[in-house]
Amino acid sequence: MENPVKPATVPQRLTNSINYKVLLLILGLVAGFQLYLYSLPDPEEADNTISVISTLNPLAAAAVGFFVARRYQGSKVFGKSYFALALGLSMMVLGEITYGIQDLLGIDPYPSVADVFFISFYPLVFYHLVTNIRFFKPKLDITTKIFIAIIPIPIVSIYSFLSFQEIGEANFDYYYGLVFIIASAVVLSVGILGARVFRQGVLGVAWLVLVIGILLTTLGDVWYYYLETFGQYDLIHPVNLFWYASYMVIAYALYKHQNIA
């Protein structure tokens, strides 16, 4: 394994376990935040609070990502891959800032230039995942290949079914959302492959946590674009909880990675 620091003896079995208290804490934080938003009497105050949290959350995850990338800076493979992941999270930050500015100016932020930043997140995360997996040159059996290939199918199918059930046709909103759903589903599929490849090693837990974070992002994306298709989304909608939690979980996964490094 390529590593910028002198490697210690790597155990053959998984020894780096998940701290479930951290995951429960994340669940409590996002649930508590949503209840706090519901308690605010002024909708504008709630919107401002959401805008701040929606920006700071991925910013914190990106900061952890850049820290891990710096630890791997002597590695041609991992330095670049973690930098790409951190850069992808930074794209989310820029997207949130752009979205907030447009909303503040009274410009409909859907669709908008903010989506350019949001969609950029996926190829950068994809690069991170694929680069790490390819480095270890895993031998995949046909069952694994088929399983990974079909993962996006039910995700896209659910989104398509819900959309067609309501609007009865494939309009612009459907296809616009479909781009993000496919991108998110593909990234999730590759993430699951990584978790499968590393499941028996010290990277196994870190990858599993990362996949959980990506899964939360995917669920949020599917729900969000379903809502936008019918004009039902607003800043206080609980769909945001999936994204809040996903950034925190990804930050925890990055912490697990740097803890292994």
SS (H, E, C) the chain: CCCCCCCCCCCCCCCCCCCHHHHHHHHHHHHHHHHHHHHCCCHHHHHHHHHHHHHHHHHHHHHHHHHHHHHCCCCCCHHHHHHHHHHHHHHHHHHHHHHHHHHHCCCCCCCCCHHHHHHHHHHHHHHHHHHHHHHCCCCCCHHHHHHHHHCHHHHHHHHHHHHHHHHCCCCHHHHHHHHHHHHHHHHHHHHHHHHHHCCCCCCHHHHHHHHHHHHHHHHHHHHHHHHHHCCCCCCCCCCHHHHHHHHHHHHHHHHHHHHHC
Q: Are 155 and 183 in contact (CB under 8 A)?
A: no
User: Is the separation of the CB atoms in 152 and 185 below 8 Å?
Assistant: yes
- Both tokens of residue 129? 């995942």
Averaged in consecutive runs of 10 residues, what is the pLDDT profile of the chain (261 residues)?
Answer: 42 60 94 92 84 92 92 82 94 93 82 91 94 83 90 91 81 88 92 80 77 88 82 86 94 80 53
Burial code (b: 16+ CB inside 10 Å, e: under 16) for 33-49 equals: bbeebeeeeeeeebbeb
Residue that the structure tokens 């930043």 belong to:
117
pLDDT at 12: 40
Residue 161 token pair: 């079914």
Both tokens of 233, joined, read 């989304």
Q: Return d(Cα 64, Cα 197) in angstroms, integer.
A: 24
Q: Tell me the C-alpha distance between 147 and 143, whole Å.
A: 6
Among residues 126, 64, 12, which one has the least CA distance to residue 258? Answer: 64
**Predicted local confidence at residue 233, as pLDDT:** 84
